[in-house]
A and B are shown apart, each in its own frame.
Chain A
Amino acid sequence: MSGSFLFAAIVFLAGAIICVPIAKKLGLSSVLGYLLAGILIGPYILGFVGDEGQDILHFAEFGVVMMLFLIGLEIEPKNFWQMRKTIVGMGGAQVLGTMMVSFLLFIFIGFDWKVSLIISMAVSLSSTAITLQTIKENGLMNTTYGASSFSILLFQDIIVILMLAVIPLLTDTEKTLVAADHADHIYLLENLPLGLQALAIFLSVVLVILAGRYIFVPMLRLVAKTRLRELLSASALLIVFALAYLMELVGLSPALGAFLGGVVLATSEFKHELESNLEPFKGLLLGLFFMAVGASINFIVLGENPLMISGLVVAIILLKALILFLVAVTFKLKVDQRLLLTIGLAQIGEFAFVLLSFAFQLNILNRFELDIMLVVTALTMTLTPILGILNERLILPRFGTKKAETRSLDHIAKTHKVILVGFGHFGSTIGRFLRSNGIEATILDSDSNRVDLLRKMGFEVYYGDASRMELLESAGIAEAKILISAIDDSDAAIHLSKMVKAKYPTVKLMVRAKNRYDAYELLNMGIEDVYRESLETSVKMAGDVLQHLGFRRYTVHRQAQKFIQYDEEGLRRLADKPKTRDEYIFKAKQEIRQQEKQLEEDLKRGIIEYDNHWDSEQMREAHKMPKNQ
C-alpha cells in the first residue's frame, strides 16, 4: 500500500516536473503542462495511473477549495458587496443562457429531456481551476476580464448547489435506492424540512463569518506569538479544512465556504501570512487536479466514437463561447476583454464530473452517456487553454491588448505602490508621514502584539516575517514601486535587501541602517538609498547645542546641512573600496580622524569665512572703504 502510494507520488511528481517546464518553455500555461502530463501518465499512454485517477480527482479538488480561499483573502467584504450585481447579472445570464441553448441542442440530437437537462447543467458550468489559474499566471486578475470571469465562476459555485438539489427530483426510481451510496454527502440535513435546511445553511454562513472574526483571528494571534512558522502553516490548513468540512456537512460547496472564510479573513492582519503559507499547497493540489483530469480522459471511448465526441466538443465550446460573447457585449466589455472572456470560460468545468456522476448513480444517465460526457468535459478543459494561447498570439495582437489594464476595477483589493517593512518607532514615523500625505503603504511587521494594537488604531498592518520571499510576494512586491526597510535588526535588513535586489531589481529599495558599518555593507551591495538613523538627529542636536551657546540659528542650520553632506560623501568614499577587516578598521579610524580635523578646521576658520555670502569684508577691502560704513 505505502509502496504503491510512493510510486504514484513519484509518477505524478515526475510527470509534473517534466511536462510543466516544457510547457512553460514553449510559452504555454502551466495548466496545459499538467493536463498533458496527466494524459501521458494515464492509462492509455504510459499506463502508470489506472482507475485511481477518479479518486485522485476527488482528492485534488481540494486545490480548488484552497484557491477560492486564497481568492477570498484578496477580496475585502465591501468589495464583495460591490460585486453582487456583476455576480448575479453576468453569472445568471451566462448559466441560464448556456443551459437553455444546450438543452435545445441535446434534445435536437435526440437525448431524453431529463438527460438533456442534466447535461445542459453540466455544460453551463466552467472550470474555476483552469480559468483562474491561467488568469493569475498571466497577471490579469485586475482586468475587467479577470473580474468578470471571477464573478461568473462564483455564481456557478453558488448555483451548483441548487443543481445538486434539483437532480434527485428528476429520478423516477425511489430515492432511497441510492441514498445509501451518498451517506457522506448531504445527509446531515436530509431529513429536515426545507425551511429548516435553509435555516441551517444560513446559520452556517453566519457561523463562518463569526468564526473568522472571533475564533480564527485570535487563534492565529496565539500561534503567531509562538513564532513557530510551521504552526502557522498548520493553522492555515486547519482553517481551510474546517471551513470545507462545515460546508459539506450542511450541503454547501466547500469551495464556496472557503471563499466566504477567505473574504472574512481578508481584512485581518494575517491576510498575507495565510496567503504565503497556503500558496504552495494550493499549487501542488491544483497541479494534481489537472493531471487527474488529463489521466481520466478515456481514450477507448474516444476511439470508439471519434466523430460524435469531436462534434460535441466543438459544438459545446462554440455554444459556450457564443453565450459568453453575448454576455460580454451586454455588459459592455472592451473588445479584447470580450475575446478573453469568451475563450477563457468556454470549457466545461470540474463540477460537471460531480453532477454527471451523481446523475449516473441516480440512474438518470446511463454508462455510455456518462463516459461520453466525461471525455467531452476533459477534452474541453484541455482545449480551452490551447485556444486561449491561439487567441493571445494570433487574434489579440490585432486589437492592441494591454496586458494589465491598470486598476480598471476596484473590486480586487488594491495593491499598494509602497511596501513598508517594520513598523516600530522608526517605521511607524515613516508610515504616519506617508499617510499624512495620502500615501497608504502596505505595512508588514513581525510582532503580533504590535500588529494587533496598530490595527485597532486603524493602520493597515499585516503580520508576517518579511525575510520570506513568499510573504513579500503576496504583499505585492511584484507591482511595488518602493520597498522601505525600517527593520531594527541590521542582519535581517541586509538579508531582506539582498533577497529583494536579487529577485526584483526594479523595485526601489530604501533601507534604514543602524550605523556607518551597516551603511557600508548596504552601499557595497549597490543600494544607494541608505538612511543612517544616527546621522540627522545627532547633527540636529549638536546644532541646538550651538544655538544654546549663542550661535545664530540660521548660520548653524547652514553648517549642519554642510556637515551632513560632507558626512554622506565620506561614507560613500569609504564604501567604494572593498576591504579586509583590518583595512576596514584602519580606514574607519582614518575617516574619523579626518572628520575631527575637518571639524577643527571649520572652527578655526570660523563660520563667517567658511560661509561668506553675506559678508561685506571683501567688498570693503576692494573699495577701500572705512570698516564702519
Chain B
Amino acid sequence: MKRVLILFAHPKFEQSRANKALVATIENIEGVTFHDLYERYPDFNIDVIGEKKLLEQHDVIVWHHPFYWYSCPPLMKQWMDVVLEFGWAYGPNASALHTKKCLNVITTGGTREVYCPTGSNNYSVNEFLRPFEQTARLCGMEYMPPFTVMGTHNISDQELEKHTLQYRQLIGCFQKNLPMGTVGDCEFLNDTPQLNKVDSK
C-alpha cells in the first residue's frame, strides 16, 4: 500500500464549494495524509524540518490547489521555496524525493475549452503547469498529468459529484500503485481508463 500525501493550499477554503466537496471525499481515507497548509501555517512560517519528514514518509505527493493566475496560491510556492532544499531535494547527492510520484490536483473557474490556443487563456493547463513538472523532475520525482476540476464557476452538483468520486478512485489507484497514463499520452488523469472504466459501468 503506497502512502499518499495531499498538500492542500487554499486561502479561502471555507468558501470553495468544489474544494470542500473534493476534500471531504479524501481527507479521511486510511493511508492518506491530508495536510492543510493554510490551516497549519496561517503566518507562512513553514516548519521545514517537519515538512521534510512528512515528505520522506510518503510515496505519492499531491499538490492540491485552486488555479490562481495560472499557478498555485502563494503559500504553496512558499512551501516549495523553503522545503525543497538544495542538497536535500535536489543538487548533487540529493535523493530524498527520488522515485516518488508527484502531481497537481487543481480546480479552475474557467472551462477546459478556454484553456487552449484558440481559447481566451491561450495555453493549456499542462503548459501552465510546466514549472511544477520541472520542479518535480529536478527533484527526481515522476511527474504525473494533473487531475482537474474545471469550470467550477458553473459546475452542477452531479458533475461535481462525478469528479469527487473520480478523485477518490484516483487516490485509490495510487495507493494500489496501478499503472497510470504518462504525460505523453494523457493530458489529464481524469481521462485515464482506470477512472473511466469504473465510471462507465
Does A pair with B?
Answer: yes
Interface residues of A (CB under 8 A from B): 558, 561-562, 565, 613-614, 618-619, 622
- Interface range for B: 10 to 19
| A-B residue pairs, 7 tightest by C-beta | A613-B82, A561-B45, A619-B86, A618-B86, A622-B91, A613-B81, A622-B92
> Which residues from chain A contact B87 at a C-beta distance below 8 Å?
618, 622
Interface flags for B30-58 (1: CB within 8 Å of A; 0: not) read 00000000000001010010000000000
> Which residues from chain B contact A565 at a C-beta distance below 8 Å?
45
| Contact of B85 with A613 in the complex, beta carbons under 8 Å | yes
| Contact of B45 with A614 in the complex, beta carbons under 8 Å | no
Given A619-B91, A622-B91, A622-B92: A558 and B45 within 8 A (CB)? yes
Whole-angstrom distance between the alpha carbons of A491 and B85 in the complex?
48
Whole-angstrom distance between the alpha carbons of A348 and B85 in the complex?
80
Closest chain A residue, CB of each to CB of B91:
A622
Whole-angstrom distance between the alpha carbons of A565 and B85 in the complex?
22
Whole-angstrom distance between the alpha carbons of A565 and B87 in the complex?
26
Whole-angstrom distance between the alpha carbons of A565 and B81 in the complex?
21
Q: A613-B48, A613-B82, A622-B86 are in contact. List 7 more A-B contacts (CB 8 A).
A: A561-B43, A561-B45, A613-B85, A618-B87, A619-B86, A622-B91, A622-B92
Closest chain B residue, CB of each to CB of A554:
B44
Closest chain A residue, CB of each to CB of B46:
A613
> Which residues from chain B contact A622 at a C-beta distance below 8 Å?
86-87, 91-92
Whole-angstrom distance between the alpha carbons of A618 and B91 in the complex?
10
A-B contact pairs, 5 of them (CB 8 A): A613-B48, A613-B82, A619-B91, A622-B86, A622-B91
Q: Taking chain A's interface residues, is the majority helix, strand, or loop, or is none over half, making it mixed?
A: helix
Closest chain B residue, CB of each to CB of A613:
B82
Whole-angstrom distance between the alpha carbons of A561 and B82 in the complex?
15
> Which residues from chain A contact B86 at a C-beta distance below 8 Å?
618-619, 622
> Which residues from chain B contact A619 at a C-beta distance below 8 Å?
86, 91
> Which residues from chain A contact B85 at a C-beta distance below 8 Å?
613
> Which residues from chain A contact B91 at a C-beta distance below 8 Å?
619, 622
> Which residues from chain A contact B48 at a C-beta distance below 8 Å?
613
Whole-angstrom distance between the alpha carbons of A622 and B91 in the complex?
8
Whole-angstrom distance between the alpha carbons of A614 and B48 in the complex?
13
Whole-angstrom distance between the alpha carbons of A558 and B47 in the complex?
12
How many whole Å from A614's CB to the nearest CB in chain B?
A: 7
| Contact of A614 with B81 in the complex, beta carbons under 8 Å | yes
> Which residues from chain A contact B43 at a C-beta distance below 8 Å?
561
How many whole Å from A617's CB to the nearest CB in chain B?
A: 10
> Which residues from chain B contact A558 at a C-beta distance below 8 Å?
45
Give the residue among A561, A562, A565, A622 with the most B Cβ atoms within 10 A.
Answer: A622
How many whole Å from A607's CB to the nearest CB in chain B?
A: 15
Closest chain A residue, CB of each to CB of B92:
A622
> Which residues from chain B contact A561 at a C-beta distance below 8 Å?
43, 45
Whole-angstrom distance between the alpha carbons of A619 and B48 in the complex?
19
> Which residues from chain B contact A614 at a C-beta distance below 8 Å?
81
How many whole Å from A332's CB to the nearest CB in chain B?
A: 32
How many whole Å from A569's CB to the nearest CB in chain B?
A: 12
> Which residues from chain A contact B81 at a C-beta distance below 8 Å?
613-614
Whole-angstrom distance between the alpha carbons of A613 and B80 in the complex?
10
How many whole Å from A529's CB to the nearest CB in chain B?
A: 17
> Which residues from chain B contact A562 at a C-beta distance below 8 Å?
45
Whole-angstrom distance between the alpha carbons of A562 and B48 in the complex?
12
Whole-angstrom distance between the alpha carbons of A99 and B86 in the complex?
89
How many whole Å from A629's CB to the nearest CB in chain B?
A: 15
Whole-angstrom distance between the alpha carbons of A619 and B84 in the complex?
13
Whole-angstrom distance between the alpha carbons of A614 and B82 in the complex?
8
How many whole Å from B151's CB to the nearest CB in chain A?
A: 32
Give the residue among B43, B85, B86, B91 with the most A Cβ atoms within 10 A.
Answer: B86
Give the residue among A558, A565, A613, A619 with the most B Cβ atoms within 10 A.
Answer: A613
How many whole Å from B87's CB to the nearest CB in chain A?
A: 6
How many whole Å from B165's CB to the nearest CB in chain A?
A: 32
Closest chain B residue, CB of each to CB of A618:
B86
How many whole Å from A47's CB to the nearest CB in chain B?
A: 68
Whole-angstrom distance between the alpha carbons of A618 and B85 in the complex?
10
How many whole Å from B34's CB to the nearest CB in chain A?
A: 24
How many whole Å from B74's CB to the nearest CB in chain A?
A: 13
In chain B between 58 and 100, which residues have their CB closer than 8 angstroms to a CB of chain A?
Answer: 81-82, 85-87, 91-92
> Which residues from chain B contact A613 at a C-beta distance below 8 Å?
48, 81-82, 85
Closest chain B residue, CB of each to CB of A619:
B86
